[in-house]
Homo-oligomer: A and B are copies of this chain.
Amino acid sequence: MKNNKYMIVYNELAEQIKNGKLKPGIKLPSEHELSSEYHTSRETIRKALTLLSQNGFIQKIKGKGSVVLDVTKYDFPVSGLVSFKEISQRMNMEYKTHVEELELIVPDEYIRDQLDLSKKDKVWKVVRVREINKERIILDKDYFNKKFVPSLTKDICEDSIYNYLENELKVNISFAKKEIVVEEATDEDRQLMDLNDYEHIVVVRNYVYLKDTSLLEYTESRHRLDKFKFVDFARREK
């Protein structure tokens, strides 16, 4: 967590909106008032409010003020990198992760291409099945560049790899590109998941970049289609 002034303001206000101290519909104090409350400049307050509005907490209206939005309506986290653990905990469900595969491999051409690797680079391949309420409905296949992730264990994979990367290895994840398509289910899908009779599967491909723009990870998250849901905010900048 960053300790900038604007992040402090952001976190305090976000917390109050999430726990209901600031209720949907009411107006926040004006930027002028907030800046004297927090003993900071108006631009710094504006940075915090801009973040809040980008993340769906408030709505800024010129000439009027900033209105608190109803965040309880939004059942999924505001877009971004979110791990399976976070989601299932937030949804309050019984969940379990099965690590099916965990090995250091020399990647095939497809993965080498996806991860922008040279021929001698090695990658960690992790295959995990996610079980929610007794059903195996998600198949996660992750490929990490060994250069950035020297070691991985089964324990880490069963918990949250993102936690490990960010808190232990201090890897600087900066942004990700996400792609959602529907494809025909493969034999592997049918083998590892409770696919019922669905012939198709929702594939979410994630490309995770580091601060220096190099590719850390390529991930395929394969979801049984009846259990898939994706929610996103889109801000209008123009």
Contacts and interface: CB of A to CB of B under 8 A. Distances in A.
A21 interface: no
Contacts of A200: 182, 198, 200, 225
B182 A182 contact: yes
Nearest to A224: B182
B229 A61 contact: no
Interface string A196-238: 0011101000000101110000000000011011111111111
Given A61-B211, A61-B213, A79 B79 contact: yes
B181 A236 contact: no
B61 A212 contact: yes
Contacts of A51: 237
Interface centre among A69, A213, A233 (most CB of B within 10 A): A213
Contact of A211 (B59, B213, B234): B59
Nearest to A226: B182
B213 A177 contact: no
Interface stretch (A87-95, A118-126, A148-156, A168-176): A168-176
A2 B238 CA distance: 6
Contacts of A175: 56, 59, 233-236
B182 A225 contact: yes
A53 to B, nearest CB: 8
Contact of A234 (B81, B182, B199): B81
Interface string A43-74: 00000000100011001011010010100001
Contacts of A234: 79-81, 175-178
A180 interface: yes
Given A225-B200, A237-B51, A238-B2, A178 B232 contact: yes
Interface in A1-54: 1-2, 51
Given A56-B177, A177-B231, 13 more contacts: A51-B237, A59-B209, A59-B211, A79-B232, A79-B234, A80-B237, A175-B235, A178-B232, A179-B229, A179-B232, A181-B230, A182-B200, A198-B200
List the 8 closest A-B pairs by CB distance, nearest first: A182-B225, A180-B230, A178-B232, A80-B234, A176-B234, A59-B213, A175-B235, A179-B231
